[in-house]
Amino acid sequence: MTVSPYPLMVAGFMSGTSLDGVDVAVIKTDGLRIFDDRESFTYSYPLSFQKRLKAILGQQHITQEVRDITRELMDYHIKAYEKLSHTKAIDIIAIHGHSVFHDPDGLKGVPRTWQLCDPQYLQKALCKPIFYDFRSYDVAHGGQGAPLVPIFHLALAYDLAKPVIFLNIGGVSNFTFISSEDPLDLLAGDMGPGNALVNDYVLEHFCTPYDRDGEIALSAEPDESVLQKWLNHPYFFKDFPKSLDRDTFHDFISDVAHLPYNKAVATLSELTVQAIIQFLPVQPKTMIVCGGGRHNKYFMGRLQKNLSCDVVDCDVLGLNGDGIEAQAFAFLGARSFFNLPISFPKTTGVSKPTSGGRFLNI
């Protein structure tokens, strides 16, 4: 493994499956440790763009509409970058883009994952070296292309007692089990839906992008018969590592069309919880929860009640829960720069530790 000779200041961008905006973070790292967490924030997308972006999810081909949305997506990234305080000190930029198609098993053709990004357009505006397309190389070598965050979770856990689990509840829920300092011991995978189904439902029926604090879910009881039907989905019984497309379970929303709105939200929310509770492969003493879902009191309360481990909001540990994914891709950008692996056999199923990310220099 290459040893990093010096730290870099890296800006990371993540447009996540929750569709709410682009997260941006700046960290100082050598790809092994994080020396400084400079700043992070979310640049929110207007509701009209969220709807247009959501409408092309699942696309497999580049159309003029896709080109237009990609350019607009990059413009929001540029606006986010311009709000940063440390642009002069930034050495490289790492951009995830926005996932529109994810089929690592080749169920709809050849194995493929596709994130919207126009690195040339972005670089022309920002005048910085750029790493992008982090997932494709992993998929091309037999991996799931996700999750890629585990190696960053390992860096965050440097001073923590082990074993420990990081649970990220974004649009999709995924976990990282950390038992030692060796990245080859990492175990990870996508658990099931995170915020995505609830967000999609409340956006349609309540004209709000998410269930704030889980208030709607907390006002009703889930429908157990619908829930049990969902929990028999074949995905839940696949071995880890495994990964999901954001909309793998989207058709489930039609199963709650007959329910009162708040009961439908409670049922969709309980699916997120039960996919974690019932199918978590290991249960250490501590689970550290990050991602937007940690703000959902329904999720957090149900996890605390039903798991035997301590369930801790990552913010309590001084971590930046809203910025972790953007920080993670900044970290992956540094690792790619130093040719360090970003995915591993037990995190994505790739055949051997694999680096990734295409590089566009200035």
pLDDT per residue as tens digits for the range 137-187: 999 999 999 999 999 999 999 999 999 999 999 999 999 999 999 999 999
Say which CATH topology domain 8-147+321-360 has: Nucleotidyltransferase; domain 5 (3.30.420)
pLDDT tens for each residue of 225-280: 999 999 999 999 999 999 999 999 999 999 999 999 999 999 999 999 999 999 99
Percent of the chain exceeding pLDDT 90 equals: 91
CB-CB neighbours of 343 under 10 Å: 33
Percent of the chain exceeding pLDDT 70 equals: 99
Mean pLDDT of the chain: 95
Query: What pLDDT was estimated at residue 18?
Result: 85
CB-CB neighbours of 65 under 10 Å: 12
Alpha-carbon gap, residue 167 to 153, rounded angstroms: 10
Residue type, position 220, single letter: A
Contact between residue 310 and residue 163 where contact means Cβ atoms under 8 Å apart:
no
pTM of the model: 0.94
Q: Is the pLDDT of residue 290 over 80?
A: yes
User: Which DSSP helix (H) or strand (E) runs through 65?
Assistant: helix 64-82
Contact between residue 197 and residue 253 where contact means Cβ atoms under 8 Å apart:
yes
Alpha-carbon gap, residue 33 to 331, rounded angstroms: 9
Domain 157-317 has CATH 3.40.50.1970: no
For the chain, give every domain's residue range.
Answer: 8-147+321-360, 157-317
Query: What pLDDT was estimated at residue 1?
Result: 43
Query: What pLDDT was estimated at residue 4?
Result: 60
How many Cα neighbours within 13 Å face the side chain of 101?
Answer: 20
Query: What pLDDT was estimated at residue 219?
Result: 98
Q: What is the mean pLDDT of residues 119-139?
A: 96
Contact between residue 107 and residue 101 where contact means Cβ atoms under 8 Å apart:
no
How many Cα neighbours within 13 Å face the side chain of 153?
Answer: 32
Which residues on neighbouring strands pair with residue 164, listed in sequence order?
178
Judge whether 8-147+321-360 and 157-317 match in fold: yes
Contact between residue 19 and residue 45 where contact means Cβ atoms under 8 Å apart:
yes
* Nearby residues of 305 by Cβ (< 8 Å), 6 or more positions away: none
Categorize the per-residue pLDDT at 6 as very low, low, confident or very high, splitting at 50, 70 and 90. Answer: confident
pLDDT tens for each residue of 89-124: 999 999 999 999 999 999 989 999 999 999 999 999
Structure-token pair, residue 336: 């790619």
Between these two residues, 66 and 284, which has the higher pLDDT value?
66
Q: What is the mean pLDDT of residues 78-85?
A: 97
Categorize the per-residue pLDDT at 297 as very low, low, confident or very high, splitting at 50, 70 and 90. Answer: very high
Query: What pLDDT was estimated at residue 3?
Result: 56
Categorize the per-residue pLDDT at 349 as very low, low, confident or very high, splitting at 50, 70 and 90. Answer: very high
